[in-house]
A and B are shown apart, each in its own frame.
Chain A
Amino acid sequence: MSRAEGGRGTPGDGLRATRVSREAGGRIVLDGVSIAPPPGATVGLLGPNGSGKTTLLRVMAGVLAPGAGVVTLDGRTLAETGRRAVARRVAVVDQHAVTQVDLSVLDVVRLGRIPHRRAWSPSGPEDEDAVREALAHTGLAGRAGQSWHTLSGGERQRVQIARALAQRPRELLLDEPTNHLDIQHQLELLSLVAALPVTAVVALHDLNLAAMFCDRVTVMKEGRVVAGGTPSEVITEELIADVYRVRAVVAPEGPEGRPSVRFLPGRALRGGPGHDEGAGP
């Protein structure tokens, strides 16, 4: 636990991917991607479908092994660190958690303690504390007994974040956590994530949400990182035309002068020839 205070941007601190590549089905999904989220920051991962966001998150979580390159946690590779030790540091929230098992909210949050417990050990006071804090932090304290299957999509994602917090992570990886939510719950969820005292990497589709809640954004296209920096630096009309191939007007009209994006009909004039799909040159 004392190591937790040691991370002030020294080299090798925290979770970082260095020149990571990965193929799937003969296609290159990640092509030399490097990302080093500053400790404590909320980093948005942007890019169209198929740009490699999900694969990058899975590689960073240690669920997928990189084909080339390394993912390190405080300077040690994930393989050296060991899977359980990684899970005590890095928590993952997927875009859509599905189960057929009849679980209560408390059951789900308790899953977060699995990496902290040995096979035959009973749950200790530290486990109970972590679970209680996670429930309180996500505003679920009064609903511990409720069944997972009676929750709305937004509530389910909140429970998954509570489960992730029960892992007591320092890094949190979220894969399009707002995908199935309505606007109100999207805003609620992202303000919750942005306020958490962890390093968060969030794959997002919505550029306005990313601009609003992220300290930094990284943009991916075809398996490569094409831009990185603060939202104001990165989210520009040129970048949107290049990466998403749509026209947009970007104005500093968001909160605190952050960029706000308004899309326009029709295809972008810039961003290369050809179509998205089908007959390219």
Chain B
Amino acid sequence: MPRAAAGARLLRDGLLWGAGAALLLLSVAVAVTIGPARISVPDVWSAVASHLGLGHGRLTPIRDGIIWDLRMPRTLLAAVCGAGLAVCGTVMQSLLRNPLADPFVLGVSSGASTGAVVVVVLGVGGGAVSVSGGAFAGALCSFALVLVLSHTLGGSTDRVVLSGVAAMQLFSALTSFVVMTAADAEQTRGVLFWLLGSLSGAGWSDVWMCSAVLAVTLLICLGHARTLDAFAFGQDAAAALGVHVARTRIVLLCTTALLTAALVSSAGAIGFVGLVLPHAARALTGAGHRRLLPVTALAGAVFLVWADTLARTVLDPQEVPVGVVTSLVGVPAFILVLHRTRRNA
């Protein structure tokens, strides 16, 4: 009986992942066709095939360029960012036992923004430091601040979240200060766009960098899947189940902070993906992280692909920052989550 049940579970998981992967592939293919230039799904396949060396392109260089150099990296970066943010949110929520934890709430995104703005507006580093490098440094600074703050405050999970809120406020203020005092109008516009999160500047290098960091993070988190399950009843319960609580928290929080830094440095601070998508995925798979993490990643990827497609088409030819779209969807979902947690408390 349990053997059969295990088999059925495996089959169900396989179906769920297969369906998710197919949905993601289809979403990417369709999203690439949407935009001012008319492009069909077969065009997309043809362009992809020719760039992968499977057959010759039958497309004009311009159409090929639109697909391969503009829309494809942007859509793929949306998928990678969505997956990454959702995974970060899942891990942070489980580790901190707080359904409202995500990279945004913990101030990591704000720190990355400050780092980027300091580089763009103040010219720190004199061109030797890229925007990404600045964002990376900023994310690590804010995360270190959160860790130190929460540690000195006693290290309990609500302290971590409160420290995150404090860090978020501090770094937002710093960013505003830098922008107000030093930026000209054009820079301000660019910075604002970036603060709200935007995938408009996506290139293949961003895609590769973020994919690599995502892959490593996902592997590490899946390796800790059962450890994450053990945190359901708190750190003491996890410790009593043989988990090295402090070590696990440091490893996983640092890994997710690094991934967040990589994502924010490429796409800006896209909010609410990490907050909302884990809850949606949990409703599909249950709380076990072995099954939850891959599904969360797929759900986040599909979600952000469509959010970005909406962002670049809804006010065509104007573009809305994708962070605006995710927030408009995210805030009602956030309130729903609050209601559910109140019921369960």
B232 touches which of A85, A99, A115, A167 (Cβ 8 Å): A99
* A contact face: mostly helix, strand, loop, or mixed: mixed
Q: Would you give the 0/1 interface string for B204-230, flagging 1 where the beta carbon is closer than 8 Å to chain A?
A: 000000000000000000011111011
Interface residues of A in 118-169 (CB under 8 A from B): 119-120, 123, 125, 128, 132, 149, 167
Across the interface, do B99 and A114 meet the contact criterion of CB distance under 8 Å? no
B295 → A minimal CB distance (Å): 15
Chain B residues with CB below 8 A from A94, complex form = 233, 236-237
Docked Cα-Cα span, A119 to B221, in Å, equals 11
Given A98-B233, A100-B345, A83 contacting B239 (CB threshold 8 A): yes
The answer to whether B242 and A115 have CB atoms under 8 Å apart is yes
Q: Are B287 and A103 in contact (CB under 8 A)?
A: yes
With a cutoff of 8 Å between Cβ atoms, the chain B residues found around residue A102 in the complex are 282, 286-287, 344
Residues of B within 8 A of A108 (CB): 232
A128 / chain B contacts, CB cutoff of 8 Å: 2, 6
A103 to B2, CA, bound (A): 19
Quick check: B241 and A111 within 8 Å, CB to CB? yes
Q: Determine the distance from Cα of A212 to Cα of B117 in the docked complex, in whole angstroms.
A: 69
Q: Which of A83, A97, A100 contacts B242 (CB 8 A)?
A: A83
> A98: which of B99, B226, B227, B234 is its contact (CB, 8 Å)?
B234
Q: How far is the CB of B344 from chain A (nearest CB, A)?
A: 5
Verify A86–B242 contact, CB threshold 8 A: yes
B240–A114 touching, CB < 8 Å: no
Contacts of A62 in B (CB 8 A): 239-240
Interface pair B6/A107, CB less than 8 Å apart? no
Report Cα–Cα, A27/B259, bound state, in Å. Answer: 42
Q: Which residues of B contact A149 (CB under 8 A)?
A: 344
User: How many residues of B are in contact with the other chain, CB < 8 A?
Assistant: 31
B288 within 8 A of A: yes
Bound-state CA distance A112–B230 (Å) is 9
Choose among A101, A112, A119, A125 the residue with the greatest number of B CB atoms under 10 Å from its CB.
A101
Q: Give the distance to chain A from B10, nearest Cβ to Cβ, in Å.
A: 9
Contact (A114, B232) CB under 8 Å given A104-B286, A119-B224:
no
- Do most interface residues of chain B lie in helix, strand or loop, or is the interface mixed? helix
Residues on the A chain within 8 Å of B225, using CB: 119
Q: Which of A58, A97, A98, A115 is the one whose CB lies under 8 Å from B241?
A: A115
Q: Return the contact of B226 from the options A90, A103, A119, A132 (Cβ within 8 A).
A: A119
A-side contacts of B236, CB under 8 Å:
58, 63, 92, 94
Report the separation of the CA atoms of residues A100 and B226 in the bound assembly, to the nearest whole angstrom.
Answer: 17
Which residues on the A side are within 8 Å of B288 (C-beta)?
Answer: 107
The one of A83, A91, A100, A167 that contacts B97, using a Cβ cutoff of 8 Å: A100
- Contact yes or no, A101 B287, CB < 8 A: yes
Chain A residue nearest in CB terms to B286: A107
B341 on the interface (CB 8 Å rule)? yes
B12 touches A (CB below 8 Å): no
Most buried by B among A62, A117, A119: A119
User: Digit string of B123-136 for contact with A (CB within 8 Å is 1, else 0)?
Assistant: 00000000000000
Q: Is the CB of B287 within 8 A of A107?
A: yes
**B242 surroundings in chain A (CB, below 8 A):** 83-88, 114-115
In whole angstroms, how far apart are the Cα atoms of A114 and B290 in the complex? 13
- B233–A114 CB distance below 8 A: no
CB-CB contacts of B36-72 with A at 8 A, as 1s and 0s? 0000000000000000000000000000000000000
Is B244 in the interface zone, CB < 8 Å from A?
Answer: yes
Chain B residues with CB under 8 Å of chain A are 2-3, 6, 94, 97, 99, 223-227, 229-230, 232-234, 236-237, 239-244, 282, 286-288, 341, 344-345
Top-5 shortest CB links A-B = A87-B242, A84-B242, A115-B242, A92-B240, A128-B2
Other than the given A61-B239, A104-B286, A107-B287, 12 more pairs (CB < 8 A) read A83-B239, A83-B242, A83-B243, A83-B244, A84-B242, A91-B240, A92-B236, A101-B94, A101-B282, A102-B287, A115-B241, A117-B226
Question: What are some 14 contacts across the A-B interface (CB < 8 A)?
Answer: A62-B239, A63-B240, A83-B239, A83-B243, A87-B242, A94-B233, A97-B233, A98-B234, A100-B99, A107-B287, A107-B288, A108-B232, A115-B241, A167-B241
